[in-house]
């Protein structure tokens, strides 16, 4: 158990990185490279899909495919890493992600293909690329949780997760700002440069972790025991997690309905850009896509500034209060965004408010893994997210149907209503982790 003097704080990952400890350096470089690649691309892909000819319904289907991958990949990714060892799993998943970024880039240069029965539109390659690009993210989500749980005293879990989240989300802050510069005039052709940069980051992350990662401590697990093992793990989930899982599923389903459409609200519905007058530089005109990058940067800046203090606050107020705040922000943001006036200051304030949902993530993770036995954190986490993500799968398609065939306003209003059901359920039935009582 970590002593008081060794308690993690928000700057721990950066101290470890600059001290050039081998394992920390390798994993930090890989995490940072892939996080940049993902965040520079995924939040802007809906607009890219529309550019390639996709409808709102297709964008919703894209979100649903992402949900399928999010439900299936983490569990089986852990199984693969257990079988072949972390080094080869990291390399394989990293290479898949890099190939995915490349497929996204190639999609802009592939013309429609007439197959007689139907036409293979260029946007289909964005779907294909997603199957590959999510590869690295599938590695070790349960193992990550378990490692933090084993390294941090129970009453400090939220701070432990705040430390790891802060390092990873620093890349989340930089990525949209890089995109904003490259798509300042319009989404294309700047986004093609973004995709090319993502390929480079993917290669750097893959090569770094393959040649520098120390695999001497890797251990190989047993063969996968089939779907029965998943069912057994779900049944064995600690009772305090069940209300959290129900509430979290409502909130995530709501978010899944509209998440991919946030950029389209800015670029298609509002069509609002940003004009900046800077000394020496002069007046800068930013396209709606670039403005969306600025909004994402604002959101993540607030998240980074509030994550560690909120995790510390949880030690006094309890995890439930902080997690509930995060759920509330998730739930109300869609309806606030879709009915917001076309005002730059208002939108900046809204996305700053949205950043508070990330502030609750460390506490949420602590509440997930906290009730698990010391040696079962990975399995509990894997079961929790597998079940939650499985139920959330249709959310993107539902959001796309409402967006395309009803109205964006109805889609976002329904999403917020579903989210608030989750918030109310958590307030009434959510339980506190013993170490924070």
pLDDT tens figures, 344-390? 999 999 999 999 988 777 777 777 766 555 444 455 666 777 788 88
Alpha helices in 108-240 (DSSP H): 124-133, 141-151, 157-182, 190-212, 227-235
| Residue 84: band (very low, low, confident or very high) from pLDDT cuts 50, 70, 90 | low
pLDDT tens figures, 40-61? 999 999 999 999 999 999 999 9
Q: Which residues constitute the domain of residue 81?
A: 4-215+224-436
Residue by residue, DSSP assigns 337-393 as HHTS-S-HHHHHHHHHHHTHHHHTHHHHHHHHHTTS-TT-HHHHHHHHHHHHHHHHT
Residue 52 phi, psi (nearest 5): -85, 5
In sequence order, the 6+-apart residues with CB closer than 8 A to the CB of 59 are 46, 49, 50, 260, 261, 264, 400, 403
pLDDT tens figures, 178-228? 999 999 888 888 999 999 999 998 898 888 777 765 555 444 444 445 556
Percent above pLDDT 70 for the chain: 72
**CATH label of the domain that carries residue 424:** 1.20.1250.20
CA distance 161 to 283: 41
CA distance 212 to 210: 6
pLDDT tens figures, 267-299? 999 999 998 777 777 788 899 999 999 999 999
- Name the one residue in this structure whose structure tokens are 């890089």: 178
Q: DSSP label at 406? A: T
pTM of the model: 0.84
Confidence at residue 317, expressed as pLDDT on a 0 to 100 scale: 80
Burial of 119 (0-12, 13-18, 19+ CB in 10 A): exposed
CB atoms within 10 A of CB 322: 25
Closest-CA residue to 176 (of 353, 355, 341, 403): 355
CB 407 within 8 A of CB 242: no
CA distance 233 to 229: 6
- Domain tally, the chain: 1
Residue 376 phi, psi (nearest 5): -125, 15
| Residue 251: band (very low, low, confident or very high) from pLDDT cuts 50, 70, 90 | very high
CA 301, 304, 307, 310 dihedral sign is: negative
Q: What is the mean pLDDT of residues 141-165?
A: 53
pLDDT tens figures, 328-348? 999 999 999 999 999 999 999
The yes-or-no verdict on residue 85 having pLDDT over 90 is: no
| Residue 156: band (very low, low, confident or very high) from pLDDT cuts 50, 70, 90 | low
Q: Looking at 239-281, which runs of residues are DSSP E strands? A: 274-278
Confidence at residue 1, expressed as pLDDT on a 0 to 100 scale: 40
Q: Hey, which residues does 277 pair with through a beta bridge?
A: 283
- Between 2 and 378, the higher pLDDT residue: 378
Average pLDDT, the chain: 80
- Name the one residue in this structure whose structure tokens are 């749980």: 149
Closest-CA residue to 294 (of 43, 101, 66): 43
CA distance 62 to 124: 10
């Amino acid at each position: 158990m970590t002593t008081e003097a060794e308690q993690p704080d928000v700057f721990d990952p950066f101290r470890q990185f600059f001290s050039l400890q081998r394992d920390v350096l390798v994993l930090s470089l890989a995490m940072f490279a892939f996080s940049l690649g993902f965040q520079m691309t995924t939040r802007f892909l809906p607009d890219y899909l529309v550019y390639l000819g996709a409808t709102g319904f297709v964008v919703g289907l894209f979100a649903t495919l992402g949900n399928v991958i999010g439900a299936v990949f983490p569990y089986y990714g852990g199984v693969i890493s257990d079988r072949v060892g972390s080094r080869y799993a990291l390399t394989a998943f990293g290479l898949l992600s890099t190939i995915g970024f490349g497929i996204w880039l190639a999609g802009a240069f592939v013309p429609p293909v007439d197959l007689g029965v139907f036409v293979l539109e260029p946007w289909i390659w964005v779907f294909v690329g997603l199957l590959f690009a999510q590869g690295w993210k599938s590695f070790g989500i349960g193992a990550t949780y378990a490692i933090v749980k084993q390294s941090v005293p129970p009453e400090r879990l939220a701070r432990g997760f705040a430390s790891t989240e802060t390092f990873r989300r620093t890349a989340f802050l930089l990525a949209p700002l890089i995109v904003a510069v490259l798509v300042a005039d319009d989404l294309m052709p700047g986004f093609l440069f973004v995709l090319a940069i993502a390929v480079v980051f993917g290669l750097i992350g893959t090569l770094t972790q393959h040649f520098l990662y120390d695999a001497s401590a890797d251990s190989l697990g047993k063969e996968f025991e089939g779907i029965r093992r998943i069912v057994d793990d779900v049944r064995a989930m600690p009772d305090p997690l069940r209300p959290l899982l129900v509430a979290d599923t409502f909130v995530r389903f709501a978010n899944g309905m509209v998440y991919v459409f946030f950029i389209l609200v800015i670029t298609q519905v509002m069509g609002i850009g940003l004009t900046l007058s800077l000394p020496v530089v002069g007046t800068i005109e930013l396209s709606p896509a670039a403005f969306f990058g600025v909004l994402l940067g604002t959101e993540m800046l607030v998240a980074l500034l509030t994550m560690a203090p909120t995790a510390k606050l949880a030690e006094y107020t309890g995890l439930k209060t902080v997690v509930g705040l995060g759920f509330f922000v998730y739930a109300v943001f869609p309806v606030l965004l879709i009915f917001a006036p076309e005002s730059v200051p208002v939108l900046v304030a809204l996305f700053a408010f949205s950043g508070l949902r990330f502030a609750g993530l460390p506490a949420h993770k602590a509440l997930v893994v906290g009730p698990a036995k010391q040696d079962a954190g990975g399995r509990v986490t894997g079961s929790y997210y597998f079940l939650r993500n499985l139920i959330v799968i249709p959310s993107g398609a539902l959001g796309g149907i409402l967006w395309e065939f009803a109205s964006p306003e109805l889609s976002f209003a329904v999403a917020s209503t579903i989210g608030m059901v989750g918030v109310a359920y958590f307030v009434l039935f959510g339980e506190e982790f013993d170490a924070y009582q």
